[in-house]
Structures are given as structure tokens and as C-alpha cells.
Structure 1
Amino acid sequence: MAAKGRPGQEGQHGDDRVRVVDIDDGRTLSIQDIADFHELINAYRALRWLLAAGIAFVMLVGFDKLYGFVKAHWVG
């Protein structure tokens, strides 16, 4: 997926996909590689929020059931 050339130089196709960014060890990344990485980060963030919401929901339901059990058996 990486294109060859000098940093910032466009390839033969002339689209942003083949523009390159120089990395210290000589490898190159295309703009599309960077965009794919950002999509992966955004997907991870969305999954993290869904997991947090799921845990909060389970804790809320669990607390409600525990409160009902304590109230029914010990409070009167």
C-alpha cells in the first residue's frame, strides 16, 4: 500500500492515496494508510464507549436488585 517517492511527492495516479510521508527508517506511509489507522482508532473508541455503557447498565440493574433484596429481607 505504501508508495515510493520523495515526501509529499504525488505518484503517477495523481490522487491523495499515493502521497507519502517519510518515516525515520526509510519506510513510507500513504495518506490512505493514515486514514485507515484513524478509522481503526475511532472504531476502538466507539467500542470502548459501548463497553462502558454496558457495564454502567449492568451495575445499575444489579444495584437495583440488591437494594430490593436488602429492603425485602432486612429492612422490613
Structure 2
Amino acid sequence: MSDSRDALHTETDAATASLADYIADMAGELATMAERSELTMLAYFLNLARVEAEAKARELSASDVAEARGRA
């Protein structure tokens, strides 16, 4: 890939990682609300979404670091 495409890919991954991190935070807050309201199944699914979003954010952040090291 050219340098401009690499930069665009890295920016897109960074934005997606940031969005996934935000979704993880919001899902966590909603899960807490659901738990307090004894909405057990809903809390379970919201926590599942939180974990998935956290994993994706970590994955994208790790790929950004690896790409940056590869260019250095």
C-alpha cells in the first residue's frame, strides 16, 4: 500500500477503535442500569456487547501500534 493509503487505513482504524471504546462504555453503563432494575437477560446481553466492543477496540489499537512500528 502507498503511504497515503496506510495513513488513511490507520486513521480509520483509530476512529473505529475510539468508537468501539465509546460503545463499550455506554453498554457497560446500560448493563449496570439493567442489573439494578433486575433486567437480568438484558444486562447479560449488554455486558456481552461491552466485552465484544472492548475486544475490538484492543484489536484495532494493537494493529495501529504494529503498523506504526512497521513504518518506523
Give TM-score scaled by structure 1 length.
Answer: 0.47
Name the structure where strand makes up a greater proportion of residues. Answer: 1
Q: Which has the higher helix share?
A: 2
After TM superposition, the score normalised by the length of structure 2 is 0.49
Point out the structure with max Rg over C-alpha. Answer: 1
